Structure 1
Amino acid sequence: MQQALQILEKYWNYSSFRPVQDEIIQSVLKGKDTFGLMPTGGGKSLCFQVPGMVFNGFCLVVSPLIALMKDQVAQLQSRDIKAIALTGGIKTDEILQLLDNCQFGNYKFLYLSPERLEQDWILERIKSLPVSLVAIDEAHCVSQWGHDFRPSYLKIKNLKTHFPKIPFIALTASATPRVQIDIINLLGLENPNLFSKSFARENLGYHIIKAEDKLYKLNQILQKNPESSIIYVRNRKNCHEYAQKLADLGFKTTFYHGGLPLKEKEKNMNLWLTDKSPVMIATSAFGMGIDKPNVKTVIHINLPENLESYYQEAGRAGRNGEKAFAILISSPSDIIQAENQFINVLPDVKFLKEVYLKLCNYFQIAYGEGINDEFPFSLNQFCLQYKFPVLKTFNSLQFLDRQGVISLSQEFSEKVQVQFLLESKEVIRYISLNPDDEPIISTILRSYPGIFDLQININCAFVAKKTGTSEVKVLNLLEKLKNLNIVDCFFQHNESKIVFLEVREDERTINRISKHLENQNSVKKEQMQAMIKYVLNETSCKSQLLLEYFGETNSNECGVCSYCVSKKVKKTPVEDLKFEIMNLLQQKEMTTREIVSLVGVSEEQVLEVVKKLLEYNMVSINSRNQFTIVK
């Protein structure tokens, strides 16, 4: 263990390990199979990176996340530790060269996806390499009950037969008891040492806040807590909208989503990390590998799809140990919206089969052929041609990807971003002088509100279809408008790519994987219901609810969540509050917010009393949304 501490200090500048880290590392160094359950920010990667440096040979790391692999390799290289990753898009000759480097170049870490292990020739090469440790990151993907199941993870068990004397370490930040048992069995871990760090975060208060006007509530929260924050939103459009709205309210904001060019991602990330723009508005694409200690608040505007994702994202607050908040702003329509976003877009077997057949026809692949064929791919064009709903189709393609039927690159960014630089009246003047350009420009203006204020992703295939023209003509016009300084355009040339990993067998292919689809859909529905139950529960500590979900049943109430705080607040009796509100309205007409600011109780209490006053016809609402006394 002394050598491990020396390596920790030399390469990571730490003098000691965190709780549980040292126990896990000791277990691995003794050659034992090990399972580590550590919440987000607990330092999972060091649990295999330090032993990997102690052992001779190199550590084989299996991870499903390309971005995380690249991030960890870059971090290791910055510490003068030799590491490589076999990510997608690397040609066979280059892969062979990289594997040779592992054998003869003193490399310490080889990262690869589980799908790579399904390629026999890669597995054969790995068998001949000096592997000293196998690490399985995001191990919940092994289990069909995990929130991100990938069947290719099941192949990892085969490594056990090739490396029977080498320790295996499985790590995850989110696994329920059922998933933990599944991971150990499916990976073939032999009498593993099981270590888990409590999911409890004593400094983090989980709050559910009910609000119809979420922007108003955001303004209140950020005014009260101006320190570094993350605001998670549903999609890219919301990212831009909330960034602009909060900037208009005087907050220094930036944003992050999967469709941004790499340079803009890095620029925006740096603005946030250096606190030049302390408010980050982001989709769920943001956060992987982020370890900013001084995040005061993580706010969710919409319901996440499961408690695993929520716990990971919320857990990015308060990593410095100081008081922090995880706030979910909830409105009555959120549950319907979440079901539309996550549940109603789940493909059934019939739809999956249709998408697969059309995909093969789209690329003119004959029955029994197509393996290793590679094509550029536009999701929007494909969906337009076959009148498929985009989200449901994307979920189908993603499922086929995870089943190893196809390989789908994840860059679904639009081809072009556009912002109009001139005022609307000047654009109308241009249209009057150039009537041939009017259909395309008008369609863009109608379809993309906010395009005068910020760069908006444009779906050129959609615009072309609406105007009865070609995508090329849309792009040519945008190029022309850019040259005239009417618009600012950023053309993106990173089309998605599809590689067919199996020969086309139509129904045989789909029938083989249909059981996995049904199981996955069942799990996602269960997880969504658990998320809804967590939000609607008003009789239990929020921290306890989360801990129980992850198998910790003997916890105490946290004292800092919205439920625990509400128990401490002395409620004003309804009759007293009714009298106070009526007195205020005698003086002048008021909105709910004005009443709340004067009576000093929660908006929920005020709405409860006002609702009764409306029912008894004691007050009414005028055209300015103000309450007034009925005379």
Structure 2
Amino acid sequence: MQQQPLDVLKKYWKHESFRTPQQEIIQSVLQGKDTFALMPTGGGKSVCFQVPGMVKEGICLVISPLIALMKDQVTNLAKKDIKAISLTGALSTDEISDKLDNCKYGNYKFLYLSPERLQAEWIVERLKDLPINLVAIDEAHCVSQWGHDFRPAYLKIAHLKEYLPDVPFLALTASATQRVQSDITSNLGLKDVTVFKKSFLRENLAYMVFEAEDKLYRIQQILDKNKAPSIIYVRNRKACHDVSHQLQSLGYSATYYHGGLKEKEKEANMNLWLQEKAQVMVATNAFGMGIDKPNVKTVIHIQLPENIESYYQEAGRAGRNGEKSYAVLLLGPSDIATTRNQFIAVLPDKKDLKQVYAKLNSFLQIAYGEGIGQSYSFNLNEFCSQYSFNIVKTYNVLQFLDRQGIVTLSKEFSESIKLQFLESSKEVLRYISLNPHDEEMLLAILRNYAGAFDMEVAVDVSYIARKAKKAEKEVFAMLQKLADKQIISYTSKGNDSTLTFNEIREDDLTINRIAKFLEKRNKIKVEQFQEVINYATDNNKCKSRIILEYFDEEVNTDCGVCSYCINKKREKQSPLVIAKEILTLLEYSAYTSREIEEKLNLTSAETIEVLQLLLDNEKIKINTYNQYTIV
């Protein structure tokens, strides 16, 4: 007798009931229907394929682009005594073949693989022999060119329909606009698809946007007001350490998380936060996958995200217990220009693509019509230095070639050269005074890699050489000398990456075929970033409505709890009234603008505007302590 879904949920997941609309999705799948499930962050997507995978005879094929997530799910299933296997990592053909044999004869219930594996015909042939009961496509927005993370390999999934005509397909995503949803069902070849959408509305989540020149001060205000678990998202690894240390020095319990940490450090820092020994987790976007801490009170972004999809998912980690919570975006005066330079200015065009691809073949000495299946050691810094290429833009080209399946990059470039200071800054300065030839190189490292006293950091040698006006070999020689003297620990892997060519070299034929995807991708990224700017700067519309309308949800009422709604409720004071209050306050003592703002419960904008008016009219002045006093 077939198990019932609720019995499976209780037995393996220890839950007494399903969340809406998990049960309806599972029933659709068990009825053999192709199903599309749009479930925003925290909706419990994995249960929607894992439960029917257990109920049905055979094995569930799960296609996912996230290797870490696949490993995580396989580990968690194993803890439940459920047999699952994944084709991740640099496996040989024999190893993959052995794993597929295990799937066929070893009574496994789940097989996880990346969409790129489907590009190998022999793997698809082997899949045909497996008793597949369900095909689950996670992160299904990757199949759409209009999605925020298009991966052409996802287009191959539709071919499985030809070999598995009677097997239901379940497409899952946490974020997709209407255009992306249509693309998903079409590109995956879903037939008579049943669609389930959970609303993007989070009634208990207040979206707040604050203009802030002093972001650390704003963070302090927020953390003091809400002393519950919080997440602060930052752009890069250095900011992780800097913000975490700043908060610790101010008396807050904080830890950090990013992709460059060793697994033990990640686990230790994660546990500090999960067990609430640290109130604040400062993290890059590497943090979040599989994180389901229900009592997160506040999620703060101190830099602009690339797109609304990412922001919604990260912000949505607050308030999963249903209690009032906050998603805060702090906007600085130069943030839009800075983020545009980081994301938009470095987008490569067709000319960049053509140039980098041609020079790549020359650099690796690949003849026309050759190269397929060949792997090469590749040093990004050396390559860019030789041809005077911008490193970030070149990396974006290589990443695009990887996404298009032209090449495969083995690992992150940033992992090649690492160092950490073993001596104090005082000792390093003493070394500089005794070795003046090394001064500019060492100062360039100290100025750009301040975190190197606390942790091992990845170093861009070509950048240090340019800053110090020295040859790269001189920088390497100095690093080796410092390592010999035990002033630093220093590791160099010689080459950053292994680059494998998946196609023969065809120059213009290759570039012309994929350039249209590049142009479309760039257009999408520019549009998506503009939507982020609109969200951050539109002071005349409810923030929740802006997000819901982005995801094509019709809403007729404001949320009542976001920064716009609260400001709208607040009685507007005339500058004249505020000026009188400020002058009255300053009769008794001198105060900074921040103190005036707090004491009179003003907004930053109101305070700055009226103080400037009073200064212009010579009613007040600023003293040497940056305080305002009456003239």
TM-score range, shorter chain: over 0.9
Say yes or no: does 1:11 pair with 2:2.
no
CA spacing shift, 1:448–1:207, aligned 2, 3 Å: same
On the 8 A contact 1:202/1:558 being kept in 2, the answer is yes
Q: What is the one-letter code of the residue matched to 1:125?
A: R
Q: What is the one-letter code of the residue matched to 2:291?
A: I
Say yes or no: does 1:233 pair with 2:234.
yes
Say yes or no: does 1:255 pair with 2:256.
yes
Say yes or no: does 1:468 pair with 2:464.
no
- Could you tell me how far apart the structure 1 residues matched to 2:241 and 2:21 are? 40
- Could you tell me how far apart the structure 2 residues matched to 1:429 and 1:95 are? 55
On the 8 A contact 1:208/1:562 being kept in 2, the answer is yes
2:286 match: 285
Spell out, residue by residue over 1:120-148, the C-alpha distance to the aligned partner (whole angstroms, 9 max, x if none).
11111111211111111111111111111
Give 1:507-586 correspondences, 5 Å limit.
Answer: 507-586=508-587
- Could you tell me how far apart the structure 1 residues matched to 2:498 and 2:291 are? 28
Moved more, 226-235 or 27-36: 226-235
Question: How many angstroms does 1:619 deviate by?
Answer: 3.2
2:364 match: 363
Q: What is the one-letter code of the residue matched to 2:273?
A: W
Task: Output the aligned Cα RMSD.
Answer: 2.2
CA spacing shift, 1:620–1:358, aligned 2, 3 Å: farther
Spell out, residue by residue over 1:548-573, the C-alpha distance to the aligned partner (whole angstroms, 9 max, x if none).
11111135322221112223333434
Give 1:368-379 correspondences, 5 Å limit.
Answer: 368-379=369-380
Local SS of the residue matching 1:564:
helix
Question: How many angstroms does 1:627 deviate by?
Answer: 2.7
Q: What is the one-letter code of the residue matched to 2:321?
A: N
1:299 match: 300
Moved more, 354-363 or 375-384: 375-384
1:319 match: 320
CA spacing shift, 1:560–1:490, aligned 2, 3 Å: farther
On the 8 A contact 1:258/1:411 being kept in 2, the answer is no
Say yes or no: does 1:57 pair with 2:58.
yes
Spell out, residue by residue over 1:277-328, the C-alpha distance to the aligned partner (whole angstroms, 9 max, x if none).
2211111121112111121111000110110000000001111112111000
Local SS of the residue matching 1:242:
helix
Gaps of 5+ in 2: none
2:382 match: 381
Question: How many angstroms does 1:33 deviate by?
Answer: 0.4
CA spacing shift, 1:74–1:489, aligned 2, 3 Å: same
CA spacing shift, 1:94–1:24, aligned 2, 3 Å: same
Q: What is the one-letter code of the residue matched to 1:8?
A: L
CA spacing shift, 1:381–1:319, aligned 2, 3 Å: farther
Spell out, residue by residue over 1:257-282, the C-alpha distance to the aligned partner (whole angstroms, 9 max, x if none).
22222332222222222222221111
Give 1:454-493 correspondences, 5 Å limit.
Answer: 455-463=456-464, 466=468, 467-470=470-473, 472-482=476-486, 486-487=487-488
Spell out, residue by residue over 1:482-530, the C-alpha distance to the aligned partner (whole angstroms, 9 max, x if none).
3xxx345577799433211111111111110000011111111111111
Spell out, residue by residue over 1:445-493, the C-alpha distance to the aligned partner (whole angstroms, 9 max, x if none).
34433544555432345445644252653442242233xxx34557779
1:266 match: 267
1:90 match: 91
Give 1:318-337 correspondences, 5 Å limit.
Answer: 318-337=319-338
CA spacing shift, 1:31–1:460, aligned 2, 3 Å: same
1:103 match: 104
1:22 match: 23
Question: How many angstroms does 1:329 deviate by?
Answer: 0.4
Local SS of the residue matching 1:413:
helix
Question: How many angstroms does 1:438 deviate by?
Answer: 5.1
1:120 match: 121
2:69 match: 68
Spell out, residue by residue over 1:205-242, the C-alpha distance to the aligned partner (whole angstroms, 9 max, x if none).
11001111111111111111122111111112211211
Spell out, residue by residue over 1:551-602, the C-alpha distance to the aligned partner (whole angstroms, 9 max, x if none).
1113532222111222333343432211011122333432111111221222
Spell out, residue by residue over 1:410-432, the C-alpha distance to the aligned partner (whole angstroms, 9 max, x if none).
42333454443444443333344
What is the percent sequence identity of the aligned residues? 58
2:395 match: 394
Moved more, 401-410 or 439-448: 439-448
Question: How many angstroms does 1:2 deviate by?
Answer: 6.0
- Could you tell me how far apart the structure 1 residues matched to 2:494 and 2:50 are? 36
Gaps of 5+ in 1: none
On the 8 A contact 1:411/1:494 being kept in 2, the answer is no
- Could you tell me how far apart the structure 2 residues matched to 1:189 and 1:293 are? 34
- Could you tell me how far apart the structure 1 residues matched to 2:482 and 2:620 are? 55
CA spacing shift, 1:220–1:18, aligned 2, 3 Å: same
Q: What is the one-letter code of the residue matched to 1:398?
A: Q
- Could you tell me how far apart the structure 2 residues matched to 1:376 and 1:2 are? 52
CA spacing shift, 1:278–1:489, aligned 2, 3 Å: farther
CA spacing shift, 1:138–1:588, aligned 2, 3 Å: same
On the 8 A contact 1:200/1:543 being kept in 2, the answer is yes
Q: What is the one-letter code of the residue matched to 1:210?
A: E
- Could you tell me how far apart the structure 1 residues matched to 2:13 and 2:394 are? 44
* TM-score calculated relative to the size of structure 2: 0.94
* TM-score calculated relative to the size of structure 1: 0.94
